[in-house]
Amino acid sequence: MKEYSVKLSILKTLSQGGFHSGEELGDKLGISRAAISKHIKGIQGWGVDVFSVQGKGYQLAKPIQLLDQGVLQNNLANNVELIPIIDSTNQYLLDRVDSLESGSVCLAEYQAKGRGRRGREWVSPFGSNLYLSMFWRLDAGIAAALGLSLVVGVAIVEALEDMGLTSVKLKWPNDLYYQDKKLAGILVEMSGQAGAAANIVIGMGLNLMMSEATQGITQPWASLFEVAKNQEIDRNQLAITMITTLHRTLDEYERYGMSGFVEKWNRLDNFINRPVTLLIGSKEITGIARGINEQGAVLLETENGLESYIGGEISLRSRQ
Ligand code: ATP
Ligand code: BTN
């Protein structure tokens, strides 16, 4: 049995709700109460809020709906792998690009080394968010990858709108925002040579019900349950919708590229017509954000007129 299988079994029992004693959990798994207590500490280390009451046992502070490989696979044509505990779903697919078919998906409940752009950390507590990646072989090659991350962002926001989850916005090039707080990030990574088809992995981290006590995030963040107000969100259904949306968007991008895309982006741009700073290496350029152009470059109204900026090393920051 893998080291974390015991913890997953304990979590499965706890996710049914109510209290479960160390004795009951131990009997079920054929291990001692002391061993259960050690595993509970490990589970807490994954970011799950479990508390214990003497004489009653352990309970989850908030219910968790686990992802279900069977439900996901039955509702998707894609090849789906749910790997509950992983380093990074993007890395998992990148390591296997030679044997995967386009559209293959990897999902996780917890990432030990979830990452954002330029190696920054993506904080990935167990069972409270969505972490998913899709592999795609892009005939247009690596030059088309920036456009891809913009197009995917718009499609995801539109899919949320279709579910009645409105007011989600975009920050160039790869973030979803809600009320000026980061709700999700999209990370496009690739392997391949210039001129040849590119092996692309598109990863998305979407916060659903992350605990306020979560450590390690250095900027304001939001969860989808704030956006949803009282509407219930089924995690498996949401994952299915996100995967279907990603697949459809990649198909369409291969066929139509970015035609007609600028207006769609600009409607959802969180910073349009607001004062911003662009960070390009050690250089800072200030101006008013004016959305994007047809190449997917960010537009900035500066003292020198309207300027466009494109490239992977640029970060946009609000000045308000
Ligand atoms: P940019 O990409 O424009 O430089 P960014 O600061 O958001 O913007 P990214 O690399 O895109 O940087 O994302 C990683 C950052 O996101 C981390 O430095 C952290 O502050 C934040 N972050 C990490 N995990 C989460 C999370 N689960 N939810 C929201 N924000 C997170
Ligand atoms: C960002 O905002 O910079 C992008 C964050 C992307 C996070 C997702 S979670 C699933 C996939 N696996 C990773 O390691 N990162 C992406």
Provide the 8-state DSSP code for 72: H
pLDDT value of position 1: 46
pLDDT of residue 221: 98
On the question of pLDDT at 291 being above 50, the answer is yes
126-138 pLDDT, tens digit each: 999 999 999 999 8
Q: Whose C-alpha lies nearest to ligand 1, atom 4?
A: 315
Residue 195, token pair as written in the block = 């001129």
Write down the mean pLDDT value for the chain.
Answer: 94
Q: Which residue from 131, 170, 242 has its CB within 8 A of the most atoms of ligand 2, so it is best to mutate?
A: 131
Hey, what are 38's tokens? 């050690």
What is the reported pLDDT for 9? 96
| Residues 6 or more apart whose Cβ sits within 8 Å of residue 155 | 245, 246, 248, 249
Q: Which ligand is nearest the CA of 185, by number?
A: 2
83, 121, 187, best to mutate for ligand 2 pocket (most atoms within 8 Å of CB): 187
pTM listed for this prediction:
0.95
What six digits make up the tokens of 35? 């061993």
Q: Which atom of ligand 2 is nearest to the CA of 124?
A: 9
Higher-pLDDT residue of 222 and 191 is: 222
Q: Average pLDDT in the 32-49 region?
A: 96
Domain residue limits, the chain: 2-60, 69-266, 271-314
CATH numeric code, 69-266: 3.30.930.10
The pLDDT tens digits of the residues spanning 254-289 come to 998 888 899 999 999 999 999 999 999 999 999 999
The fold of 271-314 is SH3 type barrels. (2.30.30)
The predicted-structure confidence for 132-161, as pLDDT tens digits, reads as follows 999 999 887 777 777 898 999 999 999 999
- What DSSP string runs through 135-147? EEEETT-GGGHHH
CATH class of this structure's domain 2-60: mainly alpha
What is the pLDDT averaged over residues 36-50?
A: 95
Question: pLDDT tens for residues 93-115?
Answer: 999 999 999 999 999 999 999 99
| Residue minimizing CA distance to atom 3 of ligand 2 | 116
Query: Which of 202, 235, 50, 218 minimizes the C-alpha distance to 122?
Result: 218
Give the per-residue pLDDT at 119: 87
Which ligand 1 atom lies nearest to the CA of residue 279? 4
- Catalytic residue numbers, as ranges: 117, 182, 317
